[in-house]
Structure 1
Amino acid sequence: MLSIKKIINFSVTAFAVTLFFACESNFKEIQKINISEFMASGEADSVNLKYTDSGRIKAILISTKMFDYGTVQYPFTEFPKGIEVTLFDERGKKNFINADYAITFKGTDIIDLQGNVKMTSDGGQFLETEQLYYDQKNEWFFTEKKFKFTDPNKGLSTGEGLDFSKDFKRINFQKVYGLINDTE
C-alpha cells in the first residue's frame, strides 16, 4: 500500500509540474494580449503648416517631426524634435516662438511648449523660459516656470510665473526679481 501511495504522489507531482511548465508559455502569450500598442495614427516629417482664417494667415508652424495620436482615448499631437511658430496679428505684426518640444491635446486649444522656449515679438520683447503654454482660443500665454523677459523700453525682468496677451500689451508678473523701467 505504501508503494501505491508513492506512485500516486509521484503521478500528482509529475502532472502538476507538467501543467506548470505548459502554462508558463501560454501565460506569456496572455500577457502580450493585455498590452495595448500605443502607436501614432499619423506621422509626418518636415511639417510646414499654415493656419488661415478668413483668407489671412494667422500662424505658421514648422517642425521636422510630428506624431498624431488621434485614435487614443485623449487624442493629442506631439512635436518631439521641436517647433518654430510664427504668429500674425491683424496688422501683420509677427511673434516668433521656438521650443525643443511641443504637444497639443485636441479639444483643449492649449499648446504646451517645452525646453529652451524663446519668444520674440515684432516690438523687440524677448522671453526665455523652460515651459510656456499658449491658449489659442484666447490668444494668451502663461507659465509658472522661471523666466527672463527683456523689453527694449522697460528693461530686463526675471522671475517665476507670468501671463500675457499675444501682442505683449497686457503682462501679469507673479514673482519678479529684476527691475522694470515703467515710464507710463
Structure 2
Amino acid sequence: MKPTSSYSLYNIVTALAVTMFFSCKNNFKEVQQIGVLQNEPIGIAENMNLKYTDSGRLKANLISPKMLDFSNREFSYNEFPEGVTLNLYDERSKKSVIVADYAIVYNNTDLIDLRGNVLITTETKDSIFAEQLFYDEKRDWVFSNKPVKYVSPTKIVTGNAFDSNRDFTSYGISEVTSTVYLDEDTSQ
C-alpha cells in the first residue's frame, strides 16, 4: 500500500508542530531582565574631573567621585549619586564653588539639579545654603524655590526662593523670612 501525498504532508506538518511546541520555553524571566537592563546606566565613570571651556576660557569645572550615564533613556541624564563639586568661573577667572550631596544633569535641557546640603561659596566670601538648587547652563542662572539662607560678612538673610546670575553679583531672595545684620567690627 502506497501512502498518499496528502497523508505524508499531514504527518510532516504534525511533526513540525509538535517539535515547535516542545522547543518553546518559558522565557518570561528573560523578558523581565531586558527591562531591568534598560533601567541600568549605559556607563559608569569614577573620579570625574570635567572642564567646560568657551572660546578658550574655562567657564566651569565639575568634579565628582562617581557618575552614572543614563544617555540610553529617551530623556537622557547623568546622575552623581556620591556628590559633586561645581566650580564656576567669571570673565575675570574669579571662582564660585557649589557643593552638593547629589546631582543630576539633564542633557536635553542643560539643567543641573543639585540636592542635599547644597553650599555655594562666592569669591567675595558670601555663602548660600539650600537643600536644592538648579543651575541653568544655557542662561548661566542659579535658582531655587526651596528655603535658602544667604550669609555675607554684613548680614544673614533667609527666604523661600533664590535666583542669581552665575557669578552671584546680581541675586534675589523671595519671601524673606528673616534678616539679621551683623556688626562689622565686634572687637571694639
The verdict on a shared fold, with TM-score over 0.5 as the criterion, is yes
Residue equivalent to 1:16:
none
Unaligned 5+ segments in structure 2 are: 1-24, 182-188
Question: Does the 8 Å contact 2:88/2:167 carry over to 1?
Answer: no
Question: 1:121 deviation in Å?
Answer: 0.3
The match for 1:21 is none
Instruction: Name the residue aligned to 2:136.
Output: 135
2:169 maps to 169
SS of 1:33's partner is helix
Q: Which secondary structure state, in structure 1, belongs to the residue aligned with residue 31 of structure 2? A: helix
> How far is 1:97 from its partner?
0.8
Kindly report the root-mean-square deviation, in angstroms, between the aligned alpha carbons of the 2 structures.
1.6
Q: CA deviation at 1:169?
A: 2.2
Q: Is 1:84 matched up with 2:82?
A: no
Q: Does structure 1 conserve the Cα–Cα contact (< 8 Å) formed by 2:94 and 2:123? A: yes
TM-score by length of 1: 0.78
- How far apart are residue 32 of structure 1 and its match? 4.5
* 1:30 equivalenced with 2:28 (yes/no): yes
Which residue matches 1:3? none
Question: How far off its partner does 1:113 sit?
Answer: 0.2
Match of 2:113 in 1: 112
CA drift of 1:41 comes to 1.0
Corresponding residue of 1:20 = none
Aligned residues: 154
Q: Which amino acid aligns with 1:173?
A: I
Under a length normalisation based on structure 2, what TM-score does the superposition of the two structures give? 0.77
Partner of 1:47: 48
Unaligned runs of 5+ in 1: 1-24
In 1: Cα distance, 2:30 partner to 2:131 partner: 38
Q: Is 1:152 the equivalent of 2:153? A: yes
- State the Cα distance separating 1:124 from its structure 2 match: 1.3
How much identity, in percent, do the aligned residues show?
Answer: 41
> Which residue identity is paired with 2:173?
F
Structure 2: how far apart are the matches of 1:64 and 1:168? Answer: 26
Show CA shifts across 1:129-165 (max 9, x none).
Answer: 0000001111111111111111224x10012111111
- Report the alpha carbon displacement of residue 99 of structure 1 after superposing the two structures with TM: 0.3
